[in-house]
Each structure stands twice: as structure tokens, then as C-alpha cells.
Structure 1
Amino acid sequence: MNASLNEIESLCKKAARGAGLSWGLAEEAGKAARWLSGNGLDGPALLAAQLRLDDGCAYPQLTPDPGAERWELAGRALCPLIAGVTLSDHAFLLRRKGEIQLGAMSHPQLLMPFASAAARQLNIALQVSWQGCVLEFSPGGEAVLIQADNFICPHVAGVHCTRIALATQGANAICGSIPALVTSVHEYLESLAARTYVPASDASRLSGAGAGLSDNT
């Protein structure tokens, strides 16, 4: 099915909340899916795959230590959503140290929207790489794919974020039309989003939630 960016963002936000993320993190997840979709990548499918891994996990379990030399979690791969939000909150480290090293990560493409935001925030060029893949982000946040051998990968051993002098300009800019929303992905995200719905009751309707009785007059 075809979906607008607004519809994708709303669905993905609710699904992330249903999977256990706070509303703030869920909003970031929705924005990330929107960014990916707006650049021709399948944001909902990537998010759905990650939420399957994170479903039910507590936020502290997924949060890396930004003060560590290498951001990683004991016994599991980093969540790119949580790592991405942490990167956004500590983007100043890229200016101070020049790089941030991250450990094993699932679905690293989900880190891209946050890298784009960090590049814009600091007005710097930024390189994000993992084995077989190199991406660069201009100070304006535009993404360019330099090496694509392992671009689509569900798990990588490590990710490096490095400040660079100038982003490469070329024909491999990441862009494209919004991909169609795959039915199975849509159904899974809807099932997560449904967890956020509270069944209406007579008491809630009378207190002002939902349509209320006055709409029937």
C-alpha cells in the first residue's frame, strides 16, 4: 500500500510506543522512519525488524555509556534507535574527539537519520562506516553512499562515526521516492500500535474522552 510520510511517521511512532519505548523515544523512531522513507529507503520495514528485537526490553538495558571509549552493550547488539538518540545528545563529542566508536549493532541503517541530524547540528561533514559500507553526511545533512557492499545488513560488528574535512559530492546521493508499505510490515506495526489504544468505557466517554454522548444530539 502507498502511505504518506505523515502516515508513516504516525504509525511508526505508535508502534514504537507499543513496543515499550517512551513517547519521547517513540517520536524519534517515527521521525527516523520518516527520514529513511523520504530518502527512498524502507523505514517502516527497518523499524519493524528492530522493534521485534527490542520488544519488551527496558530502556536502561539498551542505553550505551557515552563516556566509554567504545559504546557497546554486554551480551547484545546496540539498538540503532537508542544509540542514535544518544549520538544526537552527545554530538559535541564529535567536535571534541573527532570520532565515536560503536560496538556491534543491529540494522545500522536506522542510525542514518541521527547521523544526518548530528552533521546539521554541528555544521560538519560526517562519515559513518561499518564493514563493507561507507556513508558520508554533508553539513546540511545530505547523505552520500561511498561504498555499498554491506549497506543492507541486519547486524554488523561495529560502527565508526568520524568527523571529516569535506563530504564527497557524487552520483550516489541517497534519495528516492517513498517505498510502498509492505502489508506484513504494516500489519505488524499496527499490532504494536494497538497496544497504545485504551478501550472506551462509559466513564471515559462521560468525562470527555472520545466522542462523548453530546455528539449524538
Structure 2
Amino acid sequence: MQSFSEIDTTSKRASRAAGFAWGIAEEVGKNMRNLEMFGLPGIKNLNLYLQNIKKNPSEKPKKIAKENRPQSKEFCPIYCGTSFLDNCKMLESFKLIKFFNVSYPLLLLPFLSRASDLVGKKISVQYEENNFLLNFDKTIFSKNIKNDHIVSLAKEITIEFLENNNSFSAQEWKELYKLSEETFVEETDSLRTKGAGAGLTDND
């Protein structure tokens, strides 16, 4: 089994050999490490994509808008990803962004995952019946993805910035906060007896 360090280094070198600048190739290396760490088929997708663009180079996005369509070819997921990451704080105001005709869309995910961390919001991604929830570059939850099925072209990718909401009610928070305040109540004989304080034998 290859180590994550080997995955990073080999992916970086292969991306550079395929024509990407060293800076972008380094990002790809980190991304493949993360995808494999999350149990997603990053290496499979990268290998197929790099082989494909030798004969059929893909297109860079000129500027990311709410809806993005390539002029003639398929969009490059790596260039789409770097552009999205570089501009994510501005793109957050769009709330919902769509890309059309993107090659090997799984390769876009790690860039979006890092964008989630930068803007401090979860990001939802959907394409070809695959659903992902990106959590501040800490985890990627996936639904319906099959590791033995590679999506070589996403006709449409939907990216949504999700508002941060508590998973608990205001009443639950009040109850827990009230309980936490007991930590600061002056110790009494009653509390000592119940074991809430330092105790009678803990005074060394």
C-alpha cells in the first residue's frame, strides 16, 4: 500500500509532467492525499484525467460567475478548482454556483473542501446523482458515489454555500448553560457531601 506521502509526491510530479505549473501541481498532490485519506478514488480519477488531456486539452475558466459554461471544450477541474479557491470569499455572495461540462469532477472537490474552511461554511456539491457535504476541510461526506464507477464528465455541477445553523434548540442551550453555571457556585457542605466540590480529603 502506498503511503500518503508517496501519493502526494507522485501526483505532484505527474501533474507537472502533464503541463501544470509547479505551484498548481503541488496543490494537486495535496488534494490527492486528501481524497485518498477520505476514501475517495483520487488516484484513479487523476490518472485517467492526465492521460486524457494529452490528446484532448481541457478549458480554463476565464472568470467564475453564477453559471459557468466552457466555450468549446470541457472545463478542467483543476483550473476550475484553483480559480474557485482563489476567489471563494467573493464567490460566497453568490450562494449557489453552477458549472457545466466539467471533466473528472471528483478532482474539483478538494479545492472546494479547502474553500469551505476559508469561508467558514459547509459546502454542498451535487453532480450526476452524486452528493457531497464538505465540512471545513475536515471531512467529506458522500452519498451515492461508487468507487468502481468513474464520472469522466459532469454535465452539471451545483455548488451551494450553506448557512451555519445550530443542531440544538435555544431551550436546550439554556438548560445546558444553566447546568454549567453550577461549576462556579460557592462550595457548600451540601455540595461537598454530594461530591460536587473538591471533597473533604482533596485539600493537599
Cα distance, 1:46–1:67 mapped onto 2, change above 3 Å: closer
1:20–1:56 CA contact under 8 A, matched in 2? no
1:48 is the counterpart of 2:47: yes
Q: Is the 8 A contact 1:46 1:107 kept in 2?
A: yes
Contact 2:121-2:136 within 8 A present in 1 as well: yes
Structure 1 residues not aligned, in runs of 5+: 170-217
Match of 1:39 in 2: 38
DSSP-derived class of the 1:124 partner: coil
* Aligned counterpart in structure 2 of residue 114 of structure 1, from 90, 97, 111: 111
Match status 1:159 vs 2:157: yes
Superposition RMSD in Å: 2.5
Counterpart amino acid of residue 76 in structure 1: K
- Aligned to 1:78, what secondary structure does the other structure show? coil
Find the aligned partners of 1:100 and 1:93 in 2 and give their Cα distance: 12
Question: TM-score scaled to structure 2, two decimals?
Answer: 0.72
What is the CA-CA distance between 1:17 and the residue it aligns to?
A: 0.6
Q: 1:57 to 1:27 in 2, by over 3 A?
A: farther
TM-score (norm 1): 0.68
Q: Counterparts in 2 of 1:49-68, with a 5 A limit?
A: 49-55=48-54, 62-68=59-65
- The letter for the 2-side match of 1:164 is L
The count of residues paired between Structure 1 and Structure 2 equals 165
Q: Report Cα offsets for 1:96-148 as digits up to 9, x if no partner.
A: 11122111111111111111101011110110111312211123542112444
Q: Which residue of 1 aligns with 2:78?
A: 81
Counterpart CA distance in 2 for 1:120 and 1:55 is 33
Superposition pairs of residues 72-151 of structure 1, within 5 angstroms: 72-148=69-145
Task: Quote the residue 1:215 is aligned against.
Answer: none
Measure how far apart 1:67 and its partner are: 4.4
How has the CA–CA distance of structure 1 residues 67 and 85 changed in structure 2, closer, same or farther, with 3 Å as cutoff?
A: closer
* Shift in Å, 1:64: 0.3
SS of equivalent to 2:98: strand
Structure 2, unpaired ranges of 5+: 168-204
Task: After superposition, give the CA deviation of every residue in 1:132-173 in whole Å (9 maximum; x if it has no partner).
Answer: 122111235421124448974111101111111359x9xxxx
SS state of the match for residue 40, structure 1? Answer: coil
